Amino acid sequence: MKRALLSVWNKEGITDLALNLHQAGIEILSSGGTAKVLTAADIPIIEVSEYTGSPEMMDGRVKTLHPRIHGGILGRRGVDDGVMKEHGIGPIDLVVVNLYPFEEMTRQSLPLDELIEFIDIGGPAMIRAAAKNYRDVIVVIDPADYPAIMDAVSSGRSFAKEERLSYAMKVFARMAAYDGAISNHLYSLEEELPSVYSVQFRNGRMLRYGENPHQVAAVYGEKGVGGTHPLQGKAMSYNNYLDVDAAVALLREFDECAAVIVKHNNPCGVATGDNIHETYIAARDVDPVSAYGGIVAVNREVDVDLAREIASTFIEVLVAPSFSDKAREVLKTKENLRLLQLSDPVVDAAVRTIDGGALVQITPAMREEWKVVSDRDPTADEEAAMMLAMKVCKHVKSNAIIFADNSRVLGIGAGQMSRVDSAKIAISKAQFPLAGSVVASDAFLPFPDTLEVAADAGATALIQPGGSIRDNEVIAEANRRKMAMIFTGIRYFRH
């Protein structure tokens, strides 16, 4: 390696890398802000403008777009040597470049005329050229890779073809994401969702199999549930990730101490309380048969009491913001139990594939507008129970019917074609009396029949979006049975 080109927006680690290259006798070309940083550190460099004989121009828009730069990167050793010599083009063996932060700048709500200046031109051209010629040129775009480069340079080790290719692959993945971000932003200037939508998921990890053993699967992601790795236990499965995602989404509905248990992507137990140990027991007792082998998510630290309770039965995954040292010692006895640290939420569009395409959905911040439509107002306890029931209802497969009191769910009916059948299932699953409970529905009641079934089971209040052409009939039945009923105005179908 004789010559390197360094031109980076993110200056992290660049001085250490440049010093390493200089000490190894490698000539350094640089430009713009990078050249200033290296010069200030007393590291000898050659300005790109001096090397090419052409000045930087157009406010820095044109500085590396020159045959002596791109010829030095693209020239095939042993093939283009004569042409390179004829035109005074020296080989560039290492290209270290990262790009203008377009994605970051889009979050600052800049006017388009300002934002457009953060669309990098020279950087992408150089790294694409280097990646194309990876057999002869090493290309580095990630500061995390600098230590490996420095180790190789210091030891005089050559780079294997596979290693060079791995760096090139990073380039094309980065360019796909970068161009996708630009495309999405520009297309979305006139539409909330662009007519052309690009998406990229990184950090792919193979899973043992998919939903079933005959299916091949991987998980992708760097943040949120997709980027989570177990603190202990077996590797996560495809179904584990789906269930953890469902459990965490529901858990985030609660600020108060809460426990959520999920089985096959639906909650089977939810409770709130004063301490996490008792709250978990209350959630488990909602449906103890279904809770066995489920996913448990809590929003308080796992203490030793809860750890012992968890260790006394079988669950697949335990998710929590933290675990006490004593709790970790107890949970180590369950070697296969996966422990996950509760991740910060990632707000992004939801993408689901369908045959030949994808559905993309954005969920904006919204506020239910509760309106009492019955003759009787709900009591304070009924209102608290309604709040709990509706939080859970959002996260249950449609048609969803939830019975609850003011601290826990009592019965869950999920995924039925008939709303009445969902209500009957919720009633049949209940482990506790439903007298005095409330019931929530994810969508309007098209007929009074669901309310009738709920009232016959003991429910005294009902919350639903409203909006049926037969709302008046449902309201009349609620009044006849002296039930309190609230309309929220927002439907929560979940398919």
Whether residue 103 is contained in a domain is answered as: yes
364 has a pLDDT exceeding 90: no
| CA distances for 294 relative to 218, 228, 269, 397, 428, angstroms | 21, 18, 10, 17, 20
| CA distances for 5 relative to 1, 29, 44, 71, 293, angstroms | 12, 5, 13, 13, 55
Residue 132 catalytic? Answer: yes
Query: Residue 380: CB partners within 8 Å, gap ≥ 6?
Result: none
Q: What is the pLDDT of residue 194?
A: 84
Q: What is the pLDDT of residue 51?
A: 86
CATH of the domain at 454: 3.40.140.20
Q: Is 404 in the same domain as 480?
A: yes
Please report how many Cα atoms fall inside a 13 Å half-sphere around the Cα of residue 293, on the Cβ side. 4
Q: Is 375 in the same domain as 483?
A: yes
Instruction: Report the chain's terminal Cα–Cα distance, integer Å.
Output: 57
- Taking residues 454-480, what's their average pLDDT? 97
Give me the number of domains the chain comprises.
Answer: 3
Asked if 167 and 139 touch (Cβ cutoff 8 Å), the reply is yes
Q: Is 161 in the same domain as 246?
A: no
64 has a pLDDT exceeding 80: no
Q: What is the pLDDT of residue 61?
A: 73
Residue at which a domain ends, from 154, 187, 220: 187
Query: Residue 88: CB partners within 8 Å, gap ≥ 6?
Result: 68
Q: Is 179 in the same domain as 305?
A: no
Q: What is the pLDDT of residue 49?
A: 84
Q: What is the pLDDT of residue 381?
A: 97
Three-state SS at 362: coil
Q: Which H or E run contains 54? A: none
Please report how many Cα atoms fall inside a 13 Å half-sphere around the Cα of residue 397, on the Cβ side. 14
Q: What is the pLDDT of residue 109?
A: 82
87 has a pLDDT exceeding 90: no
Asked if 102 and 181 touch (Cβ cutoff 8 Å), the reply is yes
Q: What is the pLDDT of residue 167?
A: 96
Whether residue 262 is contained in a domain is answered as: yes
Residue at which a domain ends, from 298, 326, 341: 341
- Taking residues 405-416, what's their average pLDDT? 96
The residue among 311, 283, 293, 306 whose CA lies nearest residue 243 is 293
- Taking residues 401-409, what's their average pLDDT? 97
| pLDDT band, very low/low/confident/very high, at 288 (cuts 50, 70, 90) | very high
Burial 231-246, CB ≥16 within 10 A → b, else e: ebbeebbbbbbbbbbb
54 has a pLDDT exceeding 80: no
Q: What is the pLDDT of residues 18-53, one digit of tens each?
A: 999 999 999 999 988 899 999 999 999 998 888 887
Whether residue 359 is contained in a domain is answered as: no
Whether residue 117 is contained in a domain is answered as: yes
Tokens linked to 484: 């309190």
Phi and psi at residue 10, to the nearest 5°: -80, 110
Whether residue 397 is contained in a domain is answered as: yes
Whether residue 204 is contained in a domain is answered as: no
68 has a pLDDT exceeding 90: no
Q: What span, in angstroms and rounded, lies between the C-alpha atoms of 475 and 282? A: 33
Q: Is 296 in the same domain as 377?
A: no
- Taking residues 368-375, what's their average pLDDT? 96
| CA distances for 210 relative to 66, 325, 350, 495, angstroms | 49, 34, 20, 20
Q: Which of 185, 234, 264, 326 is catalytic?
A: 264
Q: What span, in angstroms and rounded, lies between the C-alpha atoms of 286 and 268? A: 7
Q: What is the pLDDT of residue 331?
A: 97
Q: What is the pLDDT of residue 78?
A: 84
Q: Is 400 in the same domain as 284?
A: no
Q: What is the pLDDT of residue 33?
A: 87
Q: What is the pLDDT of residue 348?
A: 85
CATH of the domain at 7: 3.40.50.1380
Q: What is the pLDDT of residues 233-284, one digit of tens each?
A: 999 999 999 999 999 999 999 999 999 999 999 999 999 999 999 999 999 9
Q: Is 97 in the same domain as 28?
A: yes
Phi and psi at residue 140, to the nearest 5°: -130, 125
Asked if 150 and 17 touch (Cβ cutoff 8 Å), the reply is yes
Alpha-helical (H) ranges within 270-379 are 276-284, 288-291, 304-311, 325-331
Q: Is 391 in the same domain as 308?
A: no
Counting residues of the chain whose pLDDT is more than 70, the rounded percentage is: 99
Q: Which of 132, 234, 332, 394 is catalytic?
A: 132
Three-state SS at 354: strand
Q: Is 44 in the same domain as 137?
A: yes
| pLDDT band, very low/low/confident/very high, at 79 (cuts 50, 70, 90) | confident
Helix 146-155 crosses helix 14-23 at what angle (to 10 degrees)? 10
Tokens linked to 437: 């409970």
Domain span at 27: 3-187
Q: Is 15 in the same domain as 115?
A: yes
- Taking residues 290-309, what's their average pLDDT? 97
The mean pLDDT of the chain is 93
491 has a pLDDT exceeding 90: yes
Whether residue 322 is contained in a domain is answered as: yes
- Taking residues 455-459, what's their average pLDDT? 97
DSSP string for residues in 66-106: SHHHHHHHHPPTTTSHHHHHHTTPPP--EEEEE---HHHHH
Q: What is the pLDDT of residues 129-188, one digit of tens each?
A: 999 999 999 999 999 999 999 999 999 888 999 999 999 999 999 999 999 999 988 888
Q: What is the pLDDT of residue 25?
A: 92
Q: What type of residue sits at position 7?
A: S
Asked if 40 and 25 touch (Cβ cutoff 8 Å), the reply is no
Whether residue 94 is contained in a domain is answered as: yes
The residue among 259, 275, 398 whose CA lies nearest residue 342 is 259
Q: What type of residue sits at position 211?
A: E
63 has a pLDDT exceeding 80: no
Q: What is the pLDDT of residue 190?
A: 80
